[in-house]
Structure 1
Amino acid sequence: MILDDIIRSTGERVGNLKTLPALNPETLPHRSLAAAIRACRGKNAIIAEVKYASPSRGRIHDGSTPEAIALEFVAAGATGLSVLTEPTFFGGSTENLIRARRAVSVPILRKDFIIDERQLAETRLLGADAVLLIARVLGNRLAAFVDEAQVIGLEPLVEVHGRGEMERALATEASLIGINNRDLRTLTTDLSTTIRLAEVARDEGRLVISESGIIWPYDVRNLRRHCDAFLIGSAIMSARDRRRKLEGFVFA
């Protein structure tokens, strides 16, 4: 299973992380992704992803720097950015996040496979404002990771794919719930996943972000009454004209 391979690789990478210094969240700048989504008016809230590769598509993009991509995305109307930092399967790096952060002022989400609390401190020190926590990966450790993220000034985006994972997510204090339309085990996508799961989260006052498989502006139009924002990566990064592609989603 590809997810097992990713987690195994992540474990090896995390094993090389040194113990990081204690953080004082008040000394580090923070931009709220949740607040940016709530404040979005007259357009769709799009979290555009800096993503160079994926297990399902292989290499997606070469050539442009993280700074150039980040600036392009913000100019096209992105509400926030997601930056992949997983190196082996997604072609990401922590350096990409640092460089994107220096270039723009919108909230930035670190997207990686978080399995160790040291990664949370690292995420904050890198300059991210939010961090992806995958319910399937963390299991019964999810609530503890949500709490720790919030203590150090990170907004956790808890990612779910099924009802059981949604129940675990709603048992935490996370205000951001990401519904992944892609099954991480099979890599197949089904946009109706967002429709099936979103209502219960929104009834609980959480912000819902639809993730994966969003390819065309009409996907956004069909889903937007069910969610508050969209996280889109491959469809934008693989486009010949990234700015125009993103604007199509923002103003769909």
Structure 2
Amino acid sequence: SNLPVLRKDFITDKKEIELTADYGASAILLIARLLKDKTGEFVDYSFDNGLEPLVEIHSTDDVLFLRDTKTRMVGINNRDILRMETDDGDVSLSENLANYLKNEFVSKKSKDYLVVSESGIKNVEYLRKVLKIADAALIGTAFMESDDTEHFVRSFVFDGLNKTCVIE
């Protein structure tokens, strides 16, 4: 298939990056909160293996791990994975961190990022909200919990949205 494939997992070992490339994925999720100072090393290794890394952050502290990396895609997880928060439909973290990235971090570093809002996007209204401040959205739980997945996904895709919608 020509469709991009993202491996969304808790990657903590470079061998997992190699396996992801071997299985034909085109992108890989790297969580800055888990990798910390190794984030840049894992970003480089992903590129070396032909993968586009999506580096996930959850706080302004996580943004520090993006410094001096070749990161081009930054995911803002609206849930705190370390606290095992559930999807509650709150996307305010994306709003705050996207503005921080664009106004504070990117402008000072002269670096462009594709900003992806992750989690908490329960319906088209929330999708529209995040696409005002993010370049794309990663949606999974809302689709998986839908009674009619096909209809629900189509409502996101065909509701007049003119931005990319990344579906996990």
Give the TM-score normalised by structure 1: 0.56
Aligned to 1:65: none
Aligned to 1:63: none
| 3-state DSSP of counterpart to 1:209 | strand
The answer to whether the Cα contact below 8 Å between 1:133 and 1:157 also exists between their aligned partners in 2 is yes
Query: What letter is aligned with 2:128?
Result: R
| 3-state DSSP of counterpart to 1:159 | strand
Deviation at 1:105, TM superposition (A): 2.2
Aligned to 2:130: 223
Aligned to 1:157: 54
The 5 A counterparts of 1:11-160 are 104-160=1-57
> What is the percent sequence identity of the aligned residues?
40
Name the CA distance, whole Å, in 2 between partners of 1:128 and 1:236. 21
Query: What letter is aligned with 2:98?
Result: A
Give the TM-score normalised by structure 2: 0.83
| 3-state DSSP of counterpart to 2:81 | coil
The answer to whether the Cα contact below 8 Å between 2:130 and 2:137 also exists between their aligned partners in 1 is no
Q: Does 1:210 align with 2:117?
A: yes
The answer to whether the Cα contact below 8 Å between 1:210 and 1:231 also exists between their aligned partners in 2 is yes
Name the CA distance, whole Å, in 1 between partners of 2:74 and 2:67. 8
1:159 to 1:199, Cα distance in 2 relative to 1, 3 A = same
Size of the alignment, in residue pairs?
149
Q: Does 1:240 align with 2:147?
A: yes
Aligned to 2:94: 194
Name the CA distance, whole Å, in 2 between partners of 1:170 and 1:230. 23
In structure 2, stretches of 5+ residues that fail to align are 160-168
The answer to whether the Cα contact below 8 Å between 1:198 and 1:227 also exists between their aligned partners in 2 is yes
Between 1 and 2, higher relative CO (CA 8 Å, sep ≥ 6) is seen in: 1
Q: What is the CA RMSD across the aligned residues, in angstroms?
A: 1.4
Name the CA distance, whole Å, in 1 between partners of 2:114 and 2:73. 5
Query: What letter is aligned with 1:122?
Result: L
* Per-residue Cα deviation, 1:158-203 (whole angstroms, up to 9, x for no partner): 0000001123224311100000000112215531000001124344
Query: What letter is aligned with 1:150?
Result: F
Query: What letter is aligned with 2:35?
Result: L
Aligned to 2:68: 171
1:124 to 1:222, Cα distance in 2 relative to 1, 3 A = same
